[in-house]
Every structure is written in structure tokens, then in C-alpha cells.
Amino acid sequence: MKKGEKRLCRQISICEQKRIALKKKLLRPKPMLEGAPVAKYTYCGTAGCACHRDESKKHGPYWYLTFRRGGKSKSRYIGQDEKKRRKVFAYKRHQSNHAELRKLNKAIDEHLVALRDLYLERPDEEKD
């Protein structure tokens, strides 16, 4: 066993375990609503309301879903509808897990290349 091989194999194994767990989550998706959740806080129309005197007293959060259609950014109010909010956040989690899976795949590939390089013999350059 060459120096560094054990460490690389352990790192590959750790990445594989994380990858398996992520794949299980990704293969059992929950109902989703495509887009990004946005919480907005607003001022009301009542002149004497505290929201006009203090930024931290604005009303909300009012939940919106932002998404792209036909190259344009769109926004839809989803309000306090708990089912819709769960679907939006499920989509966000799914996207995050998918991104994490891509990172793990890249890390595994990099470790495998490093492992290969430990054993790769290069021919000596010819000396003139």
C-alpha cells in the first residue's frame, strides 16, 4: 500500500456513504412547487401604525413564490397556505440535495484521480 492510499480510500468511502444517503432522499421526493420562497414585509395603510415609525414592526412575513417563465421573473402570492409553503421548501431542499450530490460526485472523482496517480508510472523522459 502506497503512502496516502489509505487516506484517499477512507475519503472516497465517506463521500460514498454521504452520496448513498442523499440518493435515498432524492429518490423519494415529496410534492414540490417549483420556485424560490420569498418572505416580504410591508407597511400598512394606517397612518398611526407602528410599522411607519419602526422598520422592525413592518407587517409580515407575506410569502411569495418567485420563478422564471419565458425568460421573465414572476411572483405569486402563496400567503399562509401551509401546504403550498411545504411544497416550496421541499423544492428548495431537493435542489440543495441535488447540488450536494454533484459536489460529492466531483469529490469522489478527484479522489479517484489522486489514487490513480499514486500508481501511475510515467515513462522516463529520454535524455539526449
Q: Give the confidence band of 115 by pLDDT, cuts at 50, 70, 90.
A: very high
> Nearest CA to 107 among 11, 26, 22, 25?
11
pLDDT (mean) for 110-127 = 82
Q: How far apart are CA 63 and CA 48, in angstroms?
A: 25
Q: How far apart are CA 32 and CA 74, in angstroms?
A: 17
Q: How far apart are CA 27 and CA 31, in angstroms?
A: 12
Cell numbers placing 49: 401604525
Q: Give the confidence band of 126 by pLDDT, cuts at 50, 70, 90.
A: low
pLDDT (mean) for 20-48 = 93
For residue 1, the model assigns a pLDDT of 77
pTM of the model: 0.73
Q: For the chain, which residues make up each domain, given as ranges?
A: 5-119
At 74-92, the pLDDT tens digits run 999 998 888 998 999 999 9
Asked if 42 and 26 count as a contact pair (C-beta separation under 8 A), the reply is: no
DSSP string, the chain: --TTHHHHHHHHHHHHHHHHHHHHHHTSPPP---SEEEEEEE--S-TT-GGGT-GGG-EEEEEEEEEEETTEEEEEE-TT-HHHHHHHHHHHHHHHHHHHHHHHHHHHHHHHHHHHHHH---PPPPP-
Asked if pLDDT for residue 64 goes beyond 80, the answer is yes
123 or 10: which leads in pLDDT: 10
Q: Give me the percent of the chain exceeding a pLDDT of 90.
A: 76
At 3-25, the pLDDT tens digits run 889 999 999 999 999 999 999 99
For residue 79, the model assigns a pLDDT of 85
For residue 124, the model assigns a pLDDT of 73
